[in-house]
A and B are shown apart, each in its own frame.
Chain A
Amino acid sequence: MIGRILIYLLALAGGTVFLFAYRLWFAGFLMAALLGLPLFSLILSLPAMITTRLSPQVPETMEQGTQVCLELAYSSVLPTPPFRCRIRVERPLTGQRWSLRPESLLPADRCGGLVVTIHRAWVYDYLKLFPLPVRRCPPRTVVVRPRPVPMAVPDPALFAPAWKPKPGGGFAENHELRLYRPGDSLQAIHWKLTAKTGKLMIREAMEPVSRPLSVQLELTGDPDTLERKLGRLLWLGDYLTQRQLSFQLQALTGRGVEVWSIPDHEALLAALDALLLSPPATGGSLAERMTAGAWNCPIGGDPDEA
């Protein structure tokens, strides 16, 4: 804009010299045109300037390491006048900030949510002489998902369900045979086996008892550590959900302890996206929140942990 203003001032100075040196009609006409041009441009541009809206065009999610261009969507009642803006990109997970120009690449080298905000946005008249601030638009978020990082899986037997008698009996897929105890229902007596053994045998209906599965994650550490933790979470979550094992995710973030129940892959991604947009934890621990009797799986960020 400064360049345009300088050019205009130069033209004005030239027109003034021409006005007094030439002195015929055209000199005055040119001078009047030079003086009126900015006003004319402003009048024509004002509806478009006032109604100009800018918003960043970014995908909602993207994979870590992919290259995505930061584009701007603009609209106004007339063809959008020239504008200028800076785009602030913030990664809450690590607290990093960037000030980017439109058409530049999003910083997707690391995982984490990105909050894209337009700031210092100015729209100009069509002659690019008068600036007007553009009304702020809500920020957009992009989630850069981590690459899965494999981790050591506990013995699958741990995931095998335990059995307990079904209260009240009834139909069951699995049954236990035992000696009669006083109070057992007569309907539960296994007559055939009783006849063979000569002892009263009971056929008890059993139902599965799965141990609660709890995954703990603390959003602490340097960016590499965080990246490993989140990658492991993704890998483990995939591993569990593929086996149709629901689990509970407990995460310590900057907002405190957050808990998600993950029954399937979509829920896993939703929880992961929320985690990626969370600020890192500044203190505290999940150690005291270990569920007693449950299989607790804390995810660490140590590189040798795998």
Chain B
Amino acid sequence: MKHKKLLPALTAFFLSFCLIYGGLAAMVTGTGLSAELPALGLWCALTIGVVVALFHLPRGSWICLAALVLCLGVLALSKEFRDQVLAAAAHIFTFYHHGYGFEIPPILAEAEALTHLPPLVALCAVEAFFLAWAFLRSCPVSLGLFLSALPLAVCFVVNDTVPEAWTVCVWLTGLVLALLTHPVRLRDRYQGDRLARLLAIPTAAAVLLLSLWVSPATYQPPQIALGGMDDLLVWLRDMLPLPDNYPDIDLGETYFIGGFQPDQVTLDRLGTRVDSSAPVMEVTSTAGGTLYLRGRDYDRYTGSSWQGDTGRLEPNATLPDRYATRGPDLEIRLLDQTDPQYLPYYPPSTMTIRDGLAPRWGNTHHYEMRVLRQDWQSLWRDRANGNDTQADERYLQLPDDTRQEGRKLLEQILSGQDLTDELSMAQAIGRYVRGCARYDKVPSRMPDDQEDFAIWFLTQADAGYCVHFATAATVLLRCAGIPARYVEGFTADVQSGRTTKITQESAHAWVEYYLPGLGWVILEATPGAGGPTPIGPTEPADPTEPSQTTEPSQTTQPSQTTQPEDATVPSESTQPSEPTEPSEETDPSQQTQLTDPSQTTGPADVTDPTDPEEPGQGLIGALKGILLLLACICAVIAALAAQWLLRRRHRQKRCRGRPDRQALSDYRLARRLARWTKTPLPRELSALAEKAAYSHHRLRPEELGQIQSFVTGCLEKTRGQSRLRCLLYRLALAI
């Protein structure tokens, strides 16, 4: 009788915990709500335990409902709790505000709270009530599942709230178990619970294998002919009740990375960088080196985002002949129809850039590149100051507060240096930004009390990735009066004469600043990016940084993890060493020497089948294989151990306890053995088992012996079976 209450309670607890904690943890990891996961887990366990225990009281569901309403009512009277709820809602709503332009209601905008744990626990209690109602009262589970999916759904409306994979796996395990067992539970609750216990390990193993197979690190979104996809997205856009200030998206020219994304880069909620190995384009070059492919630029900085103003129409002028020389030939074949045309530095002829994008006219583009001459810096410094064309004023735009803070910072950065021209200042700024923080794909988010992303990153943050560094450099350049803009695109190491497949992992952000008389020049502000042999006029990356095609996952640089105490002149330990003369690295004559594949770094993804596989990928594959093998072995061991435990329990029951219990245990064994050995089970045994189960009289020794003799006879029969069959039977029994 005790087990009849305890086991269903434990099963309901387990299922509810998976569903509730998985969903809430996903929301916390995805949106960065202020709640510690272990604390959340403990609170969830406590809340679910109390709810399940209350459900076992007489009229427990009503008692639980009353307690829930009472607790929520008391909490609602507390101003602190109300503030926490509003603050959590505001925190989540901010993503929608940035993603879709929904205005944050004033009541949410003013809410502040130190922790978001209490609202999450309250939500957990509500979910636990409905799930316990479904699991312990055999009621429909739809409402409970819907509630448990709500926190998860919050994360998947915008692209920058990706939860951690394990949270989704926990939730999915609970969901699959609930879906599989609920039809049985509706008919027979105890059988449903028994099924849930039986399926728990296989389901968890299956979800684990699935997560290994569809891993976030190697996931590639499907490539489809997106002719109809545009129509679908337009239809979706028309169907969604988007506000009027939602930016009008011209799908033919919008820059998509990672899906349906409006024309802005949200900075204040910038979280983990999510890479995807989805191929974007294939590039074939006649020279090797690091290639920058410009996607789109953003001109307006708001302090919390980059926004691309619409209606911009400007020429992307080619290099003046004075600074240019013939570069390699380049062929770009785009694989995704929603992508814009990616421009190399520099295309051979003037192109019109509309709203920061080059219009696309086909899938394959061929360029006879022009690159900067080796001595372009000296040429530019020696130029005759005349009627140089100036950049648009929009590329100097900054919020007033940002400009003031940036200028203060800039004074500290540039003081003590004799910098006379824009080029020198840009190089100094680039050096400073590259050294001000370490590279990390999982940086901390900007705190809510900060108003400007670039200033926060330059003064307080200790880590970031390309978006952080490029934003900071662009803001500093604008503070210095140099027109600059934030650019997103791709970088990749290409090999001469080979086709390189560029994937989403190579997505990158950098800075373009304007030099009068020359045009827009790249400034690489991210430490370690750009590679050792850029094709084109980039500001070289810190040579001390590891060179790589894609951004490093965890570039740990102890010397750079802390902000220099005296930021006026960065110390050697915190600043990158003086880079070599940029002309040496951007010299086109050198580029021609780099066409030998053996002298260049390996490509990101070369389609040549003769290329050796990258060692990292092979290692990952081997690790995956080992993990799969280990999982299989563990599953078999677990099955055998479960079977052994089962047998041990049966043996204990048979050897100890009252004759009735022994008889019941023997009868169960007899039933299984009879099924296996295909021996008809005598009716007398069933009658004896019923007597043992339901009668008040104890079985006599001779009655018990009757069952035991049958068991012994069946066991004798099994002696002749093959060992393999015995093992299979044991496994099947365990499973």
| Residues of chain B lying within 8 A (CB to CB) of residue A36 | 206, 210
Stretch at the interface among A15-23, A55-63, A153-161: A15-23
Tell me if A208 is interfacial: C-beta within 8 Å of chain B. no
| Residues of chain A lying within 8 A (CB to CB) of residue B444 | none
Interface string of A50-82 (1 = CB under 8 A from B): 000000000000000000000000000111111
Tell me if B516 is interfacial: C-beta within 8 Å of chain A. no
Tell me if B428 is interfacial: C-beta within 8 Å of chain A. no
Complex Cα gap A37–B203 (Å): 10
- Asked whether A26 and B176 contact (CB < 8 A) given A79-B184, A79-B195, the answer is no
| Residues of chain B lying within 8 A (CB to CB) of residue A21 | 232-233, 236, 259-260
Contact A82–B180 (Cβ < 8 Å) = no
Contact B168–A24 (Cβ < 8 Å) = no
**How far in angstroms is the closest Cβ of chain A from B58?**
27
Chain A residues bordering chain B, tally (CB within 8 A):
31
Contact B192–A79 (Cβ < 8 Å) = yes
29 inter-chain pairs at a CB distance below 8 angstroms, sorted by A residue, are A18-B156, A19-B221, A20-B222, A21-B236, A22-B156, A23-B258, A24-B276, A25-B214, A25-B274, A26-B168, A27-B156, A27-B221, A28-B214, A28-B220, A29-B165, A29-B168, A29-B210, A29-B219, A33-B176, A44-B202, A77-B732, A79-B184, A79-B192, A81-B184, A82-B183, A126-B180, A126-B184, A126-B195, A128-B183
Complex Cα gap A40–B260 (Å): 32
Q: Interface residue tally of chain B, by bracket?
A: 35 or more
Interface of B, helix, strand, loop or mixed by DSSP: helix
Tell me if B466 is interfacial: C-beta within 8 Å of chain A. no
Tell me if B290 is interfacial: C-beta within 8 Å of chain A. no
Complex Cα gap A108–B183 (Å): 32
Tell me if B35 is interfacial: C-beta within 8 Å of chain A. no
| Residues of chain A lying within 8 A (CB to CB) of residue B260 | 21
Tell me if A127 is interfacial: C-beta within 8 Å of chain B. yes
- Best-buried of A23, A32, A82 by chain B (most CB within 10 Å): A23
**How far in angstroms is the closest Cβ of chain B from A35?**
10
Interface string of B112-131 (1 = CB under 8 A from A): 00000000000000000000
Tell me if A246 is interfacial: C-beta within 8 Å of chain B. no
| Residues of chain A lying within 8 A (CB to CB) of residue B184 | 79-82, 126
| Residues of chain A lying within 8 A (CB to CB) of residue B214 | 25, 28-29, 32
Tell me if A138 is interfacial: C-beta within 8 Å of chain B. no
Contacting A at CB under 8 A, from B142-185, are: 156, 159, 162-163, 165, 168, 172, 176, 179-181, 183-184
| Given A24-B162, A24-B258, A36-B210, 17 other A-B residues pairs in contact with their CB atoms under 8 A | A17-B232, A18-B156, A23-B259, A24-B159, A24-B219, A24-B221, A24-B259, A25-B214, A25-B274, A29-B211, A36-B206, A37-B176, A78-B198, A79-B184, A82-B184, A127-B179, A128-B183
Tell me if A47 is interfacial: C-beta within 8 Å of chain B. yes
- Asked whether A20 and B210 contact (CB < 8 A) given A79-B195, A128-B183, the answer is no
Tell me if A285 is interfacial: C-beta within 8 Å of chain B. no
- Best-buried of A21, A78, A126 by chain B (most CB within 10 Å): A126
> Which 6 residue pairs across A and B have the least CB separation, nearest first?
A23-B259, A79-B191, A25-B216, A79-B195, A126-B180, A82-B183
Of B191, B216, B224, which one neighbours A80 at CB under 8 angstroms? B191
Complex Cα gap A79–B191 (Å): 6
Contacting A at CB under 8 A, from B218-253, are: 219-222, 224, 229, 232-233, 236
**How far in angstroms is the closest Cβ of chain B from A275?**
28
**How far in angstroms is the closest Cβ of chain A from B151?**
14
- Asked whether A79 and B221 contact (CB < 8 A) given A22-B259, A24-B276, A127-B180, the answer is no
| Residues of chain A lying within 8 A (CB to CB) of residue B165 | 25, 29
Complex Cα gap A263–B419 (Å): 129
Complex Cα gap A47–B198 (Å): 13
Contact A23–B221 (Cβ < 8 Å) = yes
Tell me if A41 is interfacial: C-beta within 8 Å of chain B. yes
| Residues of chain A lying within 8 A (CB to CB) of residue B183 | 81-82, 124, 126-128
Tell me if B194 is interfacial: C-beta within 8 Å of chain A. yes
Complex Cα gap A24–B260 (Å): 11
**How far in angstroms is the closest Cβ of chain A from B370?**
35
- Asked whether A47 and B732 contact (CB < 8 A) given A29-B168, A79-B191, A126-B181, the answer is yes
Tell me if B199 is interfacial: C-beta within 8 Å of chain A. yes
Tell me if B213 is interfacial: C-beta within 8 Å of chain A. yes
**How far in angstroms is the closest Cβ of chain B from A225?**
40
Contact A19–B222 (Cβ < 8 Å) = yes
Tell me if B683 is interfacial: C-beta within 8 Å of chain A. no
| Residues of chain B lying within 8 A (CB to CB) of residue A22 | 156, 159, 259
| Residues of chain A lying within 8 A (CB to CB) of residue B162 | 24-26
Tell me if B187 is interfacial: C-beta within 8 Å of chain A. yes
| Residues of chain A lying within 8 A (CB to CB) of residue B176 | 33, 37, 40
Complex Cα gap A47–B266 (Å): 52
- In the complex, which residue of chain A has the Cβ closest to the Cβ of B233? A21
Of B194, B210, B224, B274, which one neighbours A33 at CB under 8 angstroms? B210
**How far in angstroms is the closest Cβ of chain A from B454?**
26
Contact B258–A44 (Cβ < 8 Å) = no
Contact B199–A44 (Cβ < 8 Å) = yes
| Residues of chain A lying within 8 A (CB to CB) of residue B210 | 29, 32-33, 36
Of A17, A20, A24, A28, which one neighbours B274 at CB under 8 angstroms? A24
**How far in angstroms is the closest Cβ of chain B from A52?**
12
- In the complex, which residue of chain B has the Cβ closest to the Cβ of A32? B214
Complex Cα gap A20–B226 (Å): 10
**How far in angstroms is the closest Cβ of chain B from A40?**
6
| Residues of chain A lying within 8 A (CB to CB) of residue B211 | 29
Complex Cα gap A78–B188 (Å): 13
- In the complex, which residue of chain B has the Cβ closest to the Cβ of A41? B180
| Residues of chain A lying within 8 A (CB to CB) of residue B198 | 78-79
- In the complex, which residue of chain A has the Cβ closest to the Cβ of B197? A79
Complex Cα gap A217–B454 (Å): 106
| Residues of chain A lying within 8 A (CB to CB) of residue B232 | 17, 20-21
- In the complex, which residue of chain B has the Cβ closest to the Cβ of A29? B214
**How far in angstroms is the closest Cβ of chain A from B494?**
26
Complex Cα gap A40–B210 (Å): 11
| Residues of chain A lying within 8 A (CB to CB) of residue B278 | 23
**How far in angstroms is the closest Cβ of chain A from B453?**
23
- In the complex, which residue of chain B has the Cβ closest to the Cβ of A18? B156
Complex Cα gap A18–B155 (Å): 13
- In the complex, which residue of chain A has the Cβ closest to the Cβ of B236? A21
